[in-house]
Amino acid sequence: MTSPPSDQTPCRPPGTGLRVDAERNRDRILAAARRLYATEGLGVSMASVAREAGVGKATLGRRFATREELVNAVFADRMDAYAAAAAEALADPDPWHGFTGYIHAVCAMQAADRGFADVLTMTFPAAKALEARRTEAYNEFQELITRAKTSGHLRDDFISQDLVILLMANAGVVAATGDDAPDTWRRLVGHMLRSYAAPGAPIPELPEAPRSTALYRATVRLARTGPDTTWVGGSGQ
């Protein structure tokens, strides 16, 4: 006769083990995608993510049917931080300081995570939550622009598209310099903030330029590897 289960061998409801395994696989996939996207950008293929996570492509497909679903899950918290940065800038009693602080904060997010640098310069229509947070941040940035212009410190000809241009340029600098000259983006942002300032506005201090030897190493590496062209309209599967 079978003995009743002891306290050391608890019974699990039917299907519980499968749910636990599924959740574990999802966590592994997300962790692997974060690592790869952060260091290599969004050009990483879904197959590479599956290999990094130690799961099959079929398992990956069950958890995330499309790349956009995976990107949405990986970067949800970062898009929250992106939107929060805009709200924090609006709360600054000094509109110009809030504006410059926001620009620097967003570019710092790009520099810290190459995948997020890509996310900020792309759109993902199927990733509803991610795009909703992007829209929220964009609307608040529009208000930030108006306040900074009213203060007399932001140039009248600055428009929201200029931020997109800056983010594209910064993403390129981050990808090109890599670990060879990781703070180069600060110099770019410093120059751009000066160009946005109206006459008489407080000018942010210009960060030091990277050493020529560091830039040389970056150019040599870039010449060997070539520009990242793996993500073009969703290619690189």
pLDDT of 59-77, one tens digit each? 999 999 888 889 989 988 8
CB 181 within 8 A of CB 215: yes
Query: What does the pLDDT read at residue 121?
Result: 80
The top-scoring range by mean pLDDT among 42-46, 51-55, 122-126 is 51-55
Place of tokens 């690592």: 35
pTM higher than the cut 0.85: no
Residues 6 or more apart whose Cβ sits within 8 Å of residue 48? 36
Q: Walk me through the domains of the chain, giving residue ranges and CATH numbers.
A: 17-65 (1.10.10), 75-225 (1.10.357)
Question: How much helix, strand and coil, in percent to the nearest 5, is found in the chain?
Answer: 65, 0, 35
Query: How would residue 230 be classed by pLDDT, with cut points 50, 70 and 90?
Result: very low
- Burial class, 189, CB count within 10 angstroms (exposed 0-12 / middle 13-18 / buried 19+): buried
Over residues 104-120, the mean pLDDT reads 88
Query: What does the pLDDT read at residue 226?
Result: 63
SS3 24: helix
Q: How far apart are CA 162 and CA 71, in angstroms?
A: 25
SS3 197: strand
Query: How would residue 221 be classed by pLDDT, with cut points 50, 70 and 90?
Result: confident
Query: What does the pLDDT read at residue 136?
Result: 87
Output 213 or 114, whichever has higher pLDDT: 213
Over residues 116-123, the mean pLDDT reads 82
Over residues 28-34, the mean pLDDT reads 94
Output 173 or 6, whichever has higher pLDDT: 173
CB 169 within 8 A of CB 188: yes
Query: How would residue 18 be classed by pLDDT, with cut points 50, 70 and 90?
Result: low
Size of the chain in residues: 237
Q: How far apart are CA 205 and CA 193, in angstroms?
A: 10
Residues 6 or more apart whose Cβ sits within 8 Å of residue 55? 25, 28, 29
Query: What does the pLDDT read at residue 94?
Result: 97
Q: How far apart are CA 67 and CA 137, in angstroms?
A: 23
